[in-house]
């Protein structure tokens, strides 16, 4: 295995958390992702469904997990199904997990081949009081491709139309949003690798470099440190490209006098990191670039202080908007009188800062969580304000990953430079070494 795996006790704890949210007699069913096709006989690299990975640690296709806490037979209370391996599969694809290996990794005693699933379902569904089915209920979900889970849910509902059905997604969002200590350690490993990639880029960048060359340097550092790659498609935008929020073509040239916005993070052991830094291509900010950068940095620092247990994210984002307004007025981008007379539903700061400040982070870079409930200890968020001025070919965003603690916050990217003087000093050292 490329990455350090979490202990089985972690997944036992995750399943115990979920059982606390299940009604008596409930049977919950989770499926892995499909291996997605490209064209001809090509496929995408396999990416496990986050929920089944969270509950079992199994990073393999054709995996199914049944949780039936009140089953009559104790052996039926947790059942894991994994793809049956064979000498042929081992030769062509590499050996899959044995039942013993899957049991050791997940902490589940009853591990069977996936081929047994239909017979077990036929036996257990009549015993249960209700079915808990999973689905993707992420706020930004807009996928037109049917998942394996959706396909299997349809089959089950057609077969047992008179059974009561409940959604398990709200419970999964609640428990996944509060990270265990083991999960935080895995996120820290991802962050450490991301930090190395940032240092590598600082040593590499110079006027004339292509944005995709920066991406290549980052990817190299990720892979050589045990990551499977990017947690999301990286953004490397220089000059005007930094003002395009989801700029991912990364085919422009980093020009002298421009600032390059770099939004990237590695995935390690299934967990994401999410870093944004904005650095001068030639190693030195102009006075205007410095002013805008420090305004964004001020907003980020003040926003971080607001992430406290009990805070509701909608209120948090409104407060951050007010802080951003002050900075945009100081920069001469907004008029104070116009701000005072603005429509509260259409705040003027949105012209230069049009996205949210924070999102949940974990197994997914835009991780699941319940946005309408107060923040609690153990949640992990990004803090990523930005100012985008297309007419100046300038876009600056700064992003760190924050753990909410009992009394405040822990900045997981605290060791990654973000002050103007720090960045310029590091880039000056690079220039001396390269000279």
- DSSP state letters, 64-126: EEEE-TT-SSGGGSEEEEEPPP-HHHHHHT-PPPPHHHHHHHH--SEEEEGGGHHHHHHHHGG
pLDDT surpasses 60 at 435:
no
pLDDT, average across residues 137-158: 89
**Catalytic annotation on 230?**
no
Predicted local distance difference test score (pLDDT) of residue 227 = 96
Q: Which residue has the tokens 């929920």?
A: 51
Catalytic residue among 140, 144, 246, 343: 246
pLDDT, average across residues 44-69: 96
Predicted local distance difference test score (pLDDT) of residue 427 = 93
Which one, of 29, 39, 14, 243, lies nearest residue 150 by Cα? 29
DSSP H stretches of helix in 86-240: 87-92, 99-106, 117-124, 148-159, 169-177, 181-204, 211-224
Q: Which two tokens stand for residue 110?
A: 């009853």
Query: In which band, very low, low, confident or very high, does the pLDDT at 386 lie, cut at 50, 70 and 90?
Result: very high
Rounded to whole angstroms, what are the CA distances from 29 to 131, 230, 323? 8, 29, 45
Q: Which two tokens stand for residue 355?
A: 């996205």
Predicted local distance difference test score (pLDDT) of residue 341 = 96
Residue percentage of the chain with pLDDT more than 90:
91
Predicted local distance difference test score (pLDDT) of residue 432 = 66
362 and 183 Cβ atoms separated by less than 8 Å: yes
Which one, of 170, 161, 394, 173, lies nearest residue 291 by Cα? 394
Predicted local distance difference test score (pLDDT) of residue 139 = 81
Catalytic residue among 355, 373, 419, 429: 355
Helix and strand totals (H; E) in the chain = 13, 17
Catalytic residue among 76, 211, 215, 263: 263
Catalytic residue among 76, 274, 364, 367: 274
Q: Which residue has the tokens 């349809």?
A: 154
**Catalytic annotation on 163?**
no
Query: In which band, very low, low, confident or very high, does the pLDDT at 434 lie, cut at 50, 70 and 90?
Result: low
Domains of the chain: 8-177 (3.40.350.10), 181-434 (3.90.230.10)
Query: In which band, very low, low, confident or very high, does the pLDDT at 431 lie, cut at 50, 70 and 90?
Result: low
**Catalytic annotation on 317?**
no
Which one, of 358, 340, 350, lies nearest residue 398 by Cα? 358
pLDDT, average across residues 41-52: 94
361 and 411 Cβ atoms separated by less than 8 Å: no
Name the least confident of 136-145, 163-172, 228-237, 366-375: 136-145
Predicted local distance difference test score (pLDDT) of residue 141 = 79
Predicted local distance difference test score (pLDDT) of residue 306 = 98
Predicted local distance difference test score (pLDDT) of residue 433 = 62
**Catalytic annotation on 220?**
no
pLDDT surpasses 90 at 108:
yes
Looking at residue 393, the DSSP 8-state letter turns out to be: T
For the segment 199-212, what is each residue's pLDDT rounded down to a tens digit? Answer: 999 999 999 999 99
Total length of the chain: 435
Catalytic residue among 83, 189, 359, 430: 359
Catalytic residue among 62, 211, 302, 384: 384
> What average pLDDT does the chain have?
95
Residue percentage of the chain with pLDDT more than 70:
99
pLDDT, average across residues 280-286: 97
**pTM, rounded to two decimals:** 0.95
pLDDT surpasses 70 at 22:
yes
pLDDT surpasses 80 at 313:
yes
Catalytic residue among 34, 51, 62, 399: 399
For the segment 167-204, what is each residue's pLDDT rounded down to a tens digit? Answer: 999 999 999 999 999 999 999 999 999 999 999 999 99
**Catalytic annotation on 138?**
no
pLDDT, average across residues 316-336: 97
Alpha carbons 45 and 145: distance in angstroms, whole number: 16
**Catalytic annotation on 211?**
no
**Catalytic annotation on 335?**
no
**Catalytic annotation on 41?**
yes
List Cβ neighbours of 177 (8 Å cut-off, separation of 6 or more): 360, 362, 367, 368, 369, 370, 376, 379
Catalytic residue among 104, 185, 366, 411: 366
**Catalytic annotation on 173?**
no
């Amino acid at each position: 295995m490329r990455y350090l795996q979490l202990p089985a006790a972690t997944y036992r704890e995750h399943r115990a958390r979920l059982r606390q949210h299940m009604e008596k007699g409930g049977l919950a069913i989770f499926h892995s992702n499909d291996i997605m096709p490209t064209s001809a006989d090509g496929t995408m690299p396999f990416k496990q469904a986050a929920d089944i990975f969270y509950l079992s640690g199994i990073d393999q296709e054709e995996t199914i997990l049944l949780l039936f806490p009140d089953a009559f037979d104790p052996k039926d209370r947790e059942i894991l199904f994994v793809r049956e391996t064979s000498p042929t599969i081992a030769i062509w694809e590499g050996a899959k997990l044995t039942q013993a290996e899957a049991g050791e990794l997940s902490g589940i005693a009853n591990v069977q081949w996936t081929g047994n699933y239909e017979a077990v379902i036929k036996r257990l569904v009549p015993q249960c009081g209700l079915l808990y089915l999973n689905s993707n209920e992420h706020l930004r979900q807009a996928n037109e491709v049917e998942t394996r889970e959706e396909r299997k849910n349809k089959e089950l509902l057609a077969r047992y139309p008179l059974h009561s059905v409940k959604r398990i997604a709200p419970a999964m969002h609640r428990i996944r949003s509060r990270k265990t200590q083991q999960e935080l350690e895995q996120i820290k490993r991802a962050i450490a690798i991301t930090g190395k990639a940032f240092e590598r880029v600082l040593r590499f960048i110079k006027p004339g470099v292509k944005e995709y060359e920066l991406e290549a340097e980052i990817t190299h550092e990720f892979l050589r440190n045990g990551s499977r790659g990017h947690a999301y498609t990286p953004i490397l935008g220089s000059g005007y490209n930094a003002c395009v929020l989801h700029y991912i073509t990364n085919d422009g040239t980093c020009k002298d006098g421009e600032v390059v916005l770099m939004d990237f993070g590695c995935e390690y052991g299934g967990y994401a990191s999410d870093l944004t830094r904005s650095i001068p291509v030639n190693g030195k900010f102009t006075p205007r670039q410095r002013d805008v950068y420090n305004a964004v940095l001020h907003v980020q620092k003040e926003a971080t202080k607001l992430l406290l247990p009990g805070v509701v994210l909608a209120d948090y984002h409104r407060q951050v908007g007010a802080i951003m307004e002050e900075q945009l007025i100081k920069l001469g981008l907004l008029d104070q009188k116009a701000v005072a007379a603005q429509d509260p539903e259409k705040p003027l700061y949105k012209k230069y800062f049009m996205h949210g400040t924070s999102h949940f982070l974990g197994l997914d870079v835009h991780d699941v969580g319940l946005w309408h409930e107060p923040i609690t200890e153990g949640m992990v968020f990004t803090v990523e304000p930005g100012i985008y001025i297309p007419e100046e070919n300038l876009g600056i965003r700064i992003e760190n990953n924050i753990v909410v603690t009992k009394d405040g916050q822990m900045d997981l990217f605290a060791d990654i430079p973000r002050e103007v003087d720090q960045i310029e000093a590091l880039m000056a050292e690079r220039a001396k070494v390269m000279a």
